[in-house]
A and B are shown apart, each in its own frame.
Chain A
Amino acid sequence: MRCLIFVEHSDGTVSESALELGAMAKSIGAEAVGLICAADPGAVNALAGQLGSFDAVIGVADDSLATYNPDAAARALTAATEAHKPDLVMTSYSAAGVDLAPNVAIRTGRQMVGYVSGLELDGDTLNAMSTVYSGKLVARTGMDLPGIVAVMPGAVKADGLSGGAPAVEMMDVDLSGLRMRVTETLVPENTGVNLADAEKIFCVGRALGGTEKIELAENVAAALGAELAGSRPVIDAGWMPKVRQVGKSGTKVKPRLYLMAGVSGAPEHLEGMANSELIIAINSDEQAPIFGTAHYGAVCDMFELMPALTERLTAGK
């Protein structure tokens, strides 16, 4: 059995998720073949050198592939899938994975399963476990191969560099007439807020409801000596600046303490904080998925808890 893995990279480094996908392919006894799209063959080779656990690499080189280009990448992955007929195509559940897996599934007439957290091979059937409804349910889908999966980052541990660099075979793909171009890469500006290095974080979610209540959260953070953070909806609503967002499209954090209130625990939030040393979650819904990840939890109204905790912390000083 053979898996074709779309290898994401930035600034000359392959992503952790690509190594995780390699480990997952191995875990079902499959060969791991990476697809590396980059600006030139030299860049493909340099990236392949970081995939010691892979069996082979297919390289596609073109100026348009210097950074991720959804149109060019979809063509490359479709062409590689059609030429090499892997049993399974694997992408990460990332922006690129959301672009590519469903798109290539349609283009190649394959079935796909997304939000995958685990794979098991049972004869010719691949059982894929998915995290659905924001983590409130899990789905088990039996897929006949060939197929495509999009896998949650962190679903398995990445393999380190075991073998030497895999052999690279370059492939020609027609990338003429692309219908989009990347004009700029934007990196967040340095604002002095550094969640990644914070020792303690207090994170509030959508349940905060508006800026009127933010003072209650600021008080907890101050009494605790913690950085204040928010889930994505808090940032999208404009209640806090983007630098304070934890998660998939925000900052990944690993503090000694991650205290959280009114955050449901969607997979995209967990991706940014699940490795924190101590996680304490407050939520009014006893079925909130965050209680599956937190070390301590309490079913409680955050608007009662926040002032009570501020008082305790201040009195205890």
Chain B
Amino acid sequence: MHIAAILRLNPVLTEELEVDEDGRDIDREWIGLELNPFDDQALEQAVLLKEATGAKVTALAAEAEGGERLLKTALARGVDEVLLIEVGEENVQLSSRARAPLFQEALEGLAPDLVLTGVLSTDDIYGELAPQLGALLDWPQVSAVSNVALGDGVATLQQEYSGGISARIEVQLPAVVGLQAATQPPRYVAGSKLRDLLKVEVPTVEPGADFGADLADATELEVPDTSGGAEMLTGDAEAVAARIHEILVERGLV
């Protein structure tokens, strides 16, 4: 059994985001990048399945910057092999739609039984990755999945809907899964483990496939106007607590 986990870097969203001068991309000068939280879940699920079944796990990435470090983290988390698809340093803004044919090509080469990636990335304006890969590879695909178990030629998945309702789905392998939550929360990796991997060479591959066409040239980004939003309460925690208490008293809520 061979599992491929596709990992992407995302801007850290707890930091301030600004739009660059021509309004086409976020200002990438100062932002931090982190593993897309849903891809983090996919990585954890892949490693959990490896532990449960002895499957081999290969982690894939296609990043202009930071891909090596990302894949070393995956090695520290327990994947067996990694592969970095070279996209060129200048291609810092690549949508899932743009990268999908590159991942398709790599997956056709690896021929895994199961592909796990995060259900979405918050910049997937032109479509999420897993359902696109399902169509490109002509493999069955299920998104918004929590819990994956492997059986004989099948995977059993739980797909989540609104209201806490979910369905159990049995899908034939090979298949692509857009993961929402792993069976267990992602594990912590010790810094020392990462340091041990500093010297490891991350294998790279030049893609033969072209980027997928998306509408990035037709998109403009803006910071939303929140002026109609909250009335802000100022002061230290004590002052804020006092104001909240007042508001609740005025409204008969306490």
Contacts and interface: CB of A to CB of B under 8 A. Distances in A.
A298 B162 CA distance: 30
Contacts of B178: 98-99
B142 interface: yes
A243 interface: yes
A296 B244 contact: yes
B199 interface: no
A299 interface: yes
A107 interface: yes
Interface string B45-70: 00000000000000000000000000
A63 to B, nearest CB: 15
A184 interface: yes
A300 interface: yes
Interface string B219-254: 111111010111111101110111111011101011
Contacts of A316: 245, 249, 254
Nearest to B135: A106
A311 B139 CA distance: 57
B215 interface: yes
Contacts of B245: 309, 312-313, 316
B229 A99 contact: no
A101 interface: yes
B17 interface: yes
Interface stretch (A19-27, A30-38, A140-148): A140-148
B170 interface: yes
A105 B132 contact: yes
B185 A132 contact: no
Interface in B117-150: 119-120, 122-129, 131-132, 134-136, 139-144
A13 interface: no
B131 A100 contact: yes
Interface string A231-249: 0110011100011010011
Contact of B230 (A138, A249, A281, A287): A281
Contacts of B253: 200, 256-257, 278
B105 interface: no
B102 interface: no
Contacts of A139: 125, 219-222
Interface of B: 11, 13-14, 16-17, 19, 26, 37, 41, 97, 100, 119-120, 122-129, 131-132, 134-136, 139-144, 156, 158-172, 175, 178, 180-181, 185, 213-215, 218-224, 226, 228-234, 236-238, 240-245, 247-249, 251, 253-254
